[in-house]
Structure 1
Amino acid sequence: MSNNSPGNHSSEATTHSSKKVIQKSALKKSQQFHAFLITLLPLLGTIIAVSLLGKYRISITEISLFLTMWIASGTGITVGFHRLFTHRSFKTSKVIQVILVILGSMAGQGPLIYWVALHRRHHECSDQLGDPHSPHQQEASNLKIFRGLAYAHILWMFDHEIPNPLYYAPELLRDKILFKVSQLYFVWFCLGLVFPTVIGGFIYQSFSGAFLGFLWGGLVRLFFVEHAIWSVNSIMHIYGERPFQTNERSTNNLWLAIPTLGESWHNNHHAFNSSAFFGMKWWQIDWGGYVIRTLEFLNLAWDVKKSTKQMIENRSAWVQSKSVIN
């Protein structure tokens, strides 16, 4: 999915900057092509990888490639695309920013500027008309909940409105370096497949080793990372706990904390969306938060935003008072 180039047509940019969505058939076709690519390719790769288990027993090499690429690309999404660029919950150097964009692009979720614009629209319209991927578009029933989950998990990608980056992410369009890195999305996406392929071939010194690296560090890893990320759109807006009263139906889900690298504390996030940390209790595993704390300790991150104990207590007290009144 490509983003409109800024600065080439200033009058046109001014005209369209107030529009929240873009209606262009070329962008719609690009969106649908990307959706097919990132849903079908990892699925086929995972099926092939599982079918080959009888012939090629999975070893520490495939496991290591899978885990390394999962952590790397998942960190790019949760720390980079989400907490840094979308919510600006901390600051870091341009070098770290570029690294996070490259890693996040390897997760196959679209270019940085597109992702940020889409997610900011989600927060603006969460579970309301205009939300790109809400599972709550219809009245509740078992069948409609299933349809809502399917829509919020995958189907929305094939036909959603494209948020206008001139409206939702103008500061990223003005950043020449980040804009260029975002434009190279497919390069980074392919690099996320090439890297484990080369490593697998080097370790095994064979084409079959390269193919196994491609499968487990590339396609199987993509399948796992993508469905973990998409579960935040679907499962975490239906199933789980809601410790904070918010204007949508976000939930916290303990069971998905590790696969999502901390994104599953979704109700916490919606309650304090500018905070860099989603896990608010010691037992709430938040890999993305741990990475940011490490960067801060190393003086590689600063101006880190946090939800203080007083803020949490005030919000909890407000929820309790609301329930008493109701």
Structure 2
Amino acid sequence: MSKLSNQKLKLLYLLKILNEKTDTDHTLTVPEMILELKKYNISAERKSIYDDIESLKVSGIDILCRKSKTYDYFIASRTFELAELKLLADAVASSKFITEKKSRELIKKIGSLTSNHEAKQLVRQVYVAGRVKTINERIYYNVDIINQAIGNNKQITFKYFEYTIDKKKRYRNDGNKYIASPYALTWDDENYYMISYYEKYNGITHFRVDKMEDIEITDQKCHKEDINIVEYTKKIFSMYGGEEETVKIQFDNSLLGVVIDRFGKSTITHKIDENNFAAILTVELSPPFWGWIFQFGNKAKIISPENVREKFVAFINEVMEEY
């Protein structure tokens, strides 16, 4: 590379050096910047560095100078603060649908958004190994393809699998491809799901994205179906379907936050007495719903309708018979 070409790149490399090596706790002097530029085979004079720093500041880069025995320069603020990057890194590390290998890769990329010094804190902040993770490395490509199909209003075909008792893949539908009209992607219980219209069921259903393979976008337009995605996901507990029912449940006052977290602030509630309140909820009657109620013990009680009360009692009795 010619000396002239190197000089044209000087400003870019200076910004790279400042981004990677400086933050509020780590600074560089002008002589140190000159030495760093030499590593890229770029020579510079002190005056040109001052001019370059001023150009970067005019362009919007927040470079500050701290005066002590020397003039120390550093990047004062970035698009993401360190605390925000820690949140992102922790979310990636704890996400079950992201494989361990991909988690480490993404956290490394998140670290590139701050200085090398602060990036080390992200590595210490999170612990990936030992957490339950998906083993399907193609989930990221699956998400991308599904989003393309949704954006272009096209149907997709794919294979769908489950694991046998000996932990081997078994393809559903006799290994034949599914055909579905994708409407949205949703994240529930740390898993990605595709909400779609499935002609075989003549209605809306959902598929675990990490269990989908060989996804292809077709030329066929998506089947149009009127669906409220938010309401659909709220009704499905842990993605298990069941008969929809509106129920009235009595809760201990200590569970108000739990109910709001699950069903939202718009949930209809009213006071029963000093210790209890009632909530009107639209749910799908299924084992996950029974389990959700059961976890609260005597602090939650189904009031109506009677047929739902009976089904819950039958569910409890069925479980007790196993003991």
Structure (1/2) with the larger helix percentage: 1
Q: Which has the higher contact order (CA 8 A, sep 6+)?
A: 1
Could you say which TM-score interval applies, normalised by the shorter chain?
Answer: under 0.3
Instruction: Give the structure-2-normalised TM-score.
Output: 0.24
